Structures are given as structure tokens and as C-alpha cells.
Amino acid sequence: MRMAAAMAAIFLLGSVSAVAGVFSDYSGRQLYERFCASCHGPAGFGDGAVAPSLKVMVPDLTRIYRRSGGAFPEERVRRIIDGRQAYPAHGTRLMPVWGQAFPVEEGGSAEAQVESEQLVGRLVEYLRSIQQ
């Protein structure tokens, strides 16, 4: 039952459309709520609805700063979100659990690339803002 709920949530996330511009007005917080909160929790504590169904612990994203010894590893976080640094729980680079919201593929249009970088940047800034 739990697994079915998790699969449904992941399917929903995965079916997000790639149409450029759909998320361009989203703030970092809104992007977080849309694509990350199901696992990382509404406030980032790692207690999202899907978390108990996963085989790995979902990290508390408010403690990235502490875990990194008192520095916010901006470039690392950016790479995790845009898929250059892969985590099995995030899906694959081509099929991340958040669909094609932040594509990094070569060959995409320049506009899509710029938008993708902006959205990832907003998410990174949002995560920086919730550090404890």
C-alpha cells in the first residue's frame, strides 16, 4: 500500500511536462513544494509523505550547512538538482523524479537552458535560506 502510494507520487512527479515557461514564475519555495517536499518534507526536515517508503533515509535539507562543516556547498547542491551529481533516489539524469523541469541536456534550446539555470538557482537560494 505504501509502495503503491510512493509509486503514484513518483509517477505524478515524473509526468510533469517539459513545456518551457510553465514554472518560470515559481519562487524557489514554490519549486521546492512542487518537486521536493513529497520526499524531503514541507519544511525540508526529510519527513515527506513518501519518505517512509524509500529504502534510503531522506536527508534533512535544513542541515546541509551543518553537515558541510559550516559552509553551504552551493555548487554541490546545484549539481544535485540539475542531475550532474546523481542519486538513485532522484532517478536518473535523463529521467529525474521531477521530470524535465530543469533540463541540462545539450542540444536543448538556449532559452530552455537559461530558464533551467534560473529555476535551479532559485531552488539553491531557497535551500540556503532554510539552513539552521
Window contacting ligand HEC (CB under 6 A); options: 14-22, 34-42, 107-115: 34-42
Task: Determine, following the binding rule CB under 6 A, whether residue 104 of this chain makes contact with ligand HEC.
Answer: no
* Contacts (CB under 6 A) with ligand HEC, residues 42-101: 50, 54, 56, 58-59, 61, 64, 67, 77, 80-81, 87, 89-90, 97-98
Task: Give the whole-angstrom CA distance, residue 64 versus residue 73.
Answer: 8
- Distances, alpha carbon 1 to alpha carbons 5, 52, 53, 70, 98, in Å: 6, 12, 10, 40, 22
Task: Give the whole-angstrom CA distance, residue 76 versus residue 52.
Answer: 25
* DSSP SS3 for 57: coil
> Using CB under 6 A as the criterion, which residues of the chain lie in contact with ligand HEC when the complex forms?
10, 13, 35-36, 38-40, 50, 54, 56, 58-59, 61, 64, 67, 77, 80-81, 87, 89-90, 97-98, 123
